[in-house]
């Protein structure tokens, strides 16, 4: 019981301390993206890749934003990893997708990428490519935000009340925050099913 109370207490602390201004900045960037008919590319690895897939659905269905994630296509992902290497799987995918200035990257990551430590180098490479193109960059990341936080136009860094729970809290709060974003009146374009059932 003590562990449960501690874990939930940490979640409360995160909610109390998350940067609301950064969330609002992301909402405004996404509203502009939709207005200019830009596309949203959501990138993540591991649990964050699963979150990216779920978020693509929500941004498309609820917010009416054209969204994609490369990890939805395991055949292409593994072919690129096998043939070209892990570090470039996302940047090469973005090249074929013809990433444009009016498009945006949204990074879901526990650490935000760190080339020096060879952690999520594929995210770093994709971010460098997006900067070169001039696309907007957003992120929901943990720890100190890593490379994502240094280059993003808006980035929510999930507070770390307990370093031994960095990953579960970061990945859980990616979901909390993207659900907040697609539910915001500036972005919500379609009613969700259960809210429409009376």
What CATH number has the domain bearing residue 82?
Answer: 3.40.50.10490
| pLDDT tens sequence across 27-60 | 999 999 999 999 999 999 999 999 999 999 999 9
Beta-bridge partner residues of 106: 42, 138
Element (H, E) at 136: strand 136-141
Q: How many domains does the chain have?
A: 1
Query: Considering the domain boundaries, does residue 123 fall inside one?
Result: yes
Query: Residues 65, 34: contact at Cβ < 8 Å?
Result: yes
Residue 179's pLDDT band, with cuts at 50, 70 and 90, is very high
Query: Considering the domain boundaries, does residue 198 fall inside one?
Result: no
Query: Considering the domain boundaries, does residue 58 fall inside one?
Result: yes
**Percentage of residues of the chain with pLDDT beyond 90:** 90
Provide the residue range defining the domain that includes 18.
Answer: 2-190
Q: What's the rounded Cα separation, in Å, for the pair 65 and 48?
A: 20
Task: Give pLDDT, residue 195.
Answer: 76
Q: For the chain, first and last CA: distance in Å?
A: 37
Burial zone of 29 (CB within 10 Å; 0-12 exposed, 13-18 middle, 19+ buried): buried
Provide the whole-model pTM.
Answer: 0.94
| pLDDT tens sequence across 125-171 | 999 999 999 999 999 999 998 999 999 999 999 999 999 999 999 99
Roughly what angle, to the nearest 10 degrees, separates helices 121-133 and 89-96?
A: 30
Count other C-beta atoms under 10 Å from residue 30's C-beta. Answer: 26
pLDDT for 194 beyond 90: no
Q: What's the rounded Cα separation, in Å, for the pair 58 and 136?
A: 20
Count other C-beta atoms under 10 Å from residue 34's C-beta. Answer: 18
Query: Considering the domain boundaries, does residue 81 fall inside one?
Result: yes
Over residues 83-112, the mean pLDDT reads: 96
| pLDDT tens sequence across 100-128 | 999 999 999 999 999 788 789 999 999 99
Nearest C-alpha neighbor of 22 from the set 128, 124, 140? 140
């Amino acid at each position: 019981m003590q562990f449960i109370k501690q874990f939930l207490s940490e979640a409360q602390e995160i909610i109390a301390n998350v940067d609301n201004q950064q969330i609002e900045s992301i909402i405004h960037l996404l509203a502009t993206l939709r207005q200019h008919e830009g596309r949203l590319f959501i990138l993540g690895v591991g649990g964050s890749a699963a979150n990216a897939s779920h978020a693509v659905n929500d941004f498309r269905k609820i917010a009416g934003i054209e969204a994609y994630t490369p990890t939805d296509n395991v055949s292409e992902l593994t072919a690129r990893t096998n043939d070209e290497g892990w570090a470039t799987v996302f940047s090469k995918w973005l090249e074929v997708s013809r990433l444009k200035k009016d498009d945006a990257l949204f990074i879901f990551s526990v650490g935000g990428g760190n080339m020096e430590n060879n952690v999520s180098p594929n995210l770093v490479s994709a971010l460098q490519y997006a900067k070169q193109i001039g696309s907007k960059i957003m992120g929901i990341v943990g720890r100190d935000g890593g490379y994502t936080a240094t280059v993003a136009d808006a980035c929510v860094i999930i507070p770390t009340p307990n370093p031994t729970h960095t990953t579960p809290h970061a990945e859980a709060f990616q979901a909390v925050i993207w659900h907040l974003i697609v539910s915001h009146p500036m972005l919500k374009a379609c009613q969700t099913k259960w809210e429409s059932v009376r």
